[in-house]
């Protein structure tokens, strides 16, 4: 599967414990709970969110980006619960200090 073909339909990834699936607007409360925690966002490139509506806008940007073949992000859920416990963003990150 090439990167471009990945956008034809949203790929679902399953392991013994987890399901990585498309993020949906119905996940807004879970996303809010996750990204409103300062400890979660401490090392991310954005600040904690303060309203559920901010989570909805975040989800909409991700959905629009997938449609435009620009962004892909997975919701991470436990296999036996359809509750978002994290997000997988496959973009490479440059972090740390080079000495």
The pLDDT tens digits for 10-24 are: 899 999 999 999 999
Instruction: Determine the pLDDT at residue 12.
Output: 94
Assigned domain for 96 exists: no
Assigned domain for 18 exists: no
**Is the pLDDT confidence value at 7 over 90?**
no
Assigned domain for 37 exists: yes
What's the sign of the alpha-carbon dihedral 96, 97, 98, 99?
negative
Q: Please compute the mean of the pLDDT values over residues 44-72 and round it to a whole number.
A: 91
How many Cα atoms within 13 Å fall on the side-chain side of residue 77? 20
Instruction: Determine the pLDDT at residue 46.
Output: 79
Longest Cα–Cα distance in the chain = 45
Q: Which of 29-43, 56-70, 82-96 has the lowest mean pLDDT?
A: 82-96
**Length of the chain in terms of residues written:** 99
Instruction: Determine the pLDDT at residue 14.
Output: 96
pLDDT level of residue 45 (50, 70, 90 thresholds): confident
**Is the pLDDT confidence value at 47 over 80?**
yes
Q: 24-50 b/e with 16+ CB inside 10 Å = b?
A: eeebbebbbebbbeeeeeeeeeeebbe
Range(s) of the domain holding residue 62: 23-88
Domain count, the chain: 1
Assigned domain for 7 exists: no
**Is the pLDDT confidence value at 35 over 80?**
yes
Assigned domain for 9 exists: no
């Amino acid at each position: 599967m090439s990167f471009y073909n990945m956008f034809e339909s949203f790929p679902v990834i399953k392991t013994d414990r987890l399901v990585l699936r498309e993020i949906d607007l119905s996940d807004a409360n879970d996303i809010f709970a996750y990204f409103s925690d300062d400890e979660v966002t401490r090392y991310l490139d954005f600040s904690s969110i303060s309203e559920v509506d901010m989570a909805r806008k975040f989800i909409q940007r991700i959905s629009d980006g997938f449609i435009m073949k620009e962004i892909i992000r997975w919701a991470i859920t436990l296999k036996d619960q359809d509750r978002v416990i994290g997000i997988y963003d496959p973009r490479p990150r440059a972090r740390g200090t080079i000495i």
